[in-house]
Amino acid sequence: MRPPNYHSPIDPKRARALVLRFVVIVFLLAAAFQSISFYVESLWFGSLGFEAVYWYRLKAPGLVFLAFGIVTAMVLYVVFRLVMPSSAYARRPFLEIGGEAIVIPTVETLKRLTLPVAVVFGFFFGLTFSSDWNIYTLFVNRVSTASVSDPIFQRPISFYLFTLPVLENVAAWFLSICVIGLLASILLSVIDMTAAFRGVSLGVSLLLLAMAAQTYVSRYTLILTENNLFTGIRYVDDKIVVPGLWFVIAALIMGAAVAAANIRLARIRNIGVAVAIPALTYLVAGILAIHEKGVRPRSHRRGSFRTAPYKRCVRSGRPCGHARQCAALGLAGASVDTASDPGNPKLLRFSRYRRGPLHDRRQDAGDDARGP
């Protein structure tokens, strides 16, 4: 009788080395074929005298890829280690759900995985943001010149052309990093035996700060919003929405402070308080904005600048005493007719006017009866 033939188990170190060699060979082959394409393209651009432009076109996305990739990997690695629960208070390495034991990695194993996972995220973030390399090159090569500033935020035109796109991308990147950190803290809280949710508190604090930065940058995009009559900030946006966003930003920072303080206090209800503060503030600001817009224009006093006065002057072309305010808001087609009455420069003439769905003709009739 022959003895059983036992197969030797696969050595994991040899398997890992084989996979690594295969990946290196594939990468070298792809780089070799791509280098041929680069060489041919450089010859073509060089024949036209634009070889420097071609290499700059390749260098700029590469630098953006390296910048975002390295910074993302470093930040995520630090965030992962901060939200990682202590190994002294880790839960047993399995969970029992429905009578089935589910094995979960230990804290030591998860700590070893933080760096590879952060590098993978950094690679994909670098690929994503490198496609917008032209935004960053325009920002780096911008020239400071004297220009007209907008009347709302007192920012020059160059800010909206070069700086604002970069701020939007950076705010979106920071928000994405904080979302990943919060999801990681929630998943890691499963193995935390203390149930203190310190990692979740840190994730919530970072996320609220990212939302505050995103809200701050989004204020400037209101001046580029297309409306029915004009492109820019409306009266309600200037008087209600923009000041309300400052309250939302303050509430987000306050909630982030509460969540950060909960890292030491370790009470789960403080996380709810940190989230409820900005949520209620945003809700109140939204209700005020909707109430101010209203279903119909409000009645106004003489000398005030509400929706009804400039709708009346748009419709009838009669002087309403608000030429300066209308011009400040940038109403399309507005002009001052001084030929008919040289002593009255506030006479407004509008080339066109489209009635909106919330236009109240009865209110307009009352405005016409009251006169300017």
Same domain, 240 and 160: yes
Same domain, 216 and 254: yes
The two three-digit tokens of residue 324, written as one number: 């300066």
Same domain, 174 and 216: yes
How many percent of the chain have pLDDT more than 70? 68
Distance of CA 51 to the CA centre of its chain: 36
Same domain, 269 and 341: no
Q: Give me the DSSP letters along 279-328.
A: HHHHHHHHHHHHHHH-SSPPP--TT---HHHHHHHHHH----S-HHHHHH
Flag whether pLDDT at 337 surpasses 90. no
The two three-digit tokens of residue 250, written as one number: 């303050």
Sign, CA dihedral 265-267-271-274, equals negative
DSSP H helix total and E strand total for the chain? 13, 4
How many domains does one find in the chain?
Answer: 3
Which residue range(s) make up the domain with 71?
55-85+115-140
| Cβ(348)–Cβ(319) below 8 Å | yes
Q: Which residues contact 107 (CB under 8 A, 6 or more apart)?
A: 84, 85, 86, 87, 90, 191
Same domain, 156 and 136: no
Nearest partner of 231 among 169, 318, 160, judged by Cα: 160
- Is 44 within a domain? no
From 242, 263, 293, the end of a domain falls on 293
pLDDT digits (tens, 9 = 90+) for 240-265: 888 889 999 999 999 999 999 988 88
| Cβ(322)–Cβ(346) below 8 Å | yes
Q: 102 - beta bridge partners?
A: 95
pLDDT digits (tens, 9 = 90+) for 123-180: 999 999 999 999 999 999 888 777 788 888 888 888 998 999 999 999 999 999 999 9
Q: How many Å apart are CA 264 and CA 30, to the nearest integer?
A: 51
Same domain, 155 and 279: yes
Flag whether pLDDT at 312 surpasses 50. no
Same domain, 277 and 194: yes
Q: How many Å apart are CA 333 and CA 348, to the nearest integer?
A: 10
CA distances from 88 to 110, 176, 338 (A): 14, 31, 82
- This prediction's pTM: 0.69
Nearest 5 degrees, angle CA 116-CA 117-CA 121? 115
Which of 22-26, 87-91, 300-304 comes out lowest in average pLDDT? 300-304
Same domain, 200 and 263: yes
- Is 182 within a domain? yes
Taking the CB of residue 222, how many other CB atoms lie within 10 A of it?
17
Q: How many Å apart are CA 71 and CA 125, to the nearest integer?
A: 10
Which of 207-221, 262-276, 313-327, 328-342 comes out lowest in average pLDDT? 328-342
Q: Where are the beta strands (DSSP E) in 94-234?
A: 94-97, 100-103
Nearest partner of 116 among 77, 66, 70, judged by Cα: 77
- Is 258 within a domain? yes
